[in-house]
Amino acid sequence: MENEKKPTEETLQKAGKGLKSVVGEFKEFISKGNVLDMAVGLIVGSAFTAIVNSLVDDILMPIIGTVLAGINFSSLGITIPWGNHPFIAIGSFLNTVITFLLTALCVFLIVKVMNMFRRKQEEKPAPPKPSKEEILLTEIRDLLAAQQGKETAETEEKKD
């Protein structure tokens, strides 16, 4: 009987170590900044979607319905005359399409504004200053050119 208990205990110990490993990996995954940023984005995105849904359902669609001779989009649809008379809600579908388009437009505008800010922050860095060796070589070149009576591009720029 002891022989039967030993493999079972070893199996349980291995399973416990494996579980601890998985839990440790999960903690590492959750604590990464990208996962937290994604969670915050998801929460803000769902709240933003609720605002856009309200904008479409409560403000835009009544205005569009009024302009189009009083059509109520929420009740717009087709009833099929056979079977149990199913109702195809075209108006609800149109509301969803308009909500999607407005949400996509808002996300596009947010990304566009963020890219404008990033471009302003990513100004071109100043050209690197020449090293001491380059400065010395430039001075030597200028001295040799002066001895031969030739002007270098730098001395011409200084005269202008």
**Over pLDDT 70: what percentage of the chain?**
79
- Count of CB atoms situated within 10 Å of the CB of 56: 22
Task: Check residue 155 and give its pLDDT.
Answer: 54
- For residue 152, give Cα distances in angstroms to 128, 135, 149: 22, 14, 10
Distance CA 96, CA 102 (A): 10
Band (153; pLDDT cuts 50, 70, 90) = low
Contacts of 48 (CB under 8 A, 6+ apart): 103, 106
Q: Which tens digit of pLDDT belongs to each residue from 90-127?
A: 888 888 888 888 888 888 888 898 888 888 777 667 77
Most confident of 2-11, 27-36, 65-74, 94-103: 94-103
Average predicted confidence (pLDDT) for the chain:
78
> Has residue 51 got a pLDDT over 70?
yes
Task: Check residue 48 and give its pLDDT.
Answer: 84
- Phi-psi label, residue 80: left if phi above 0, alpha if psi -120 to 50, beta otherwise: beta
Distance CA 53, CA 101 (A): 11
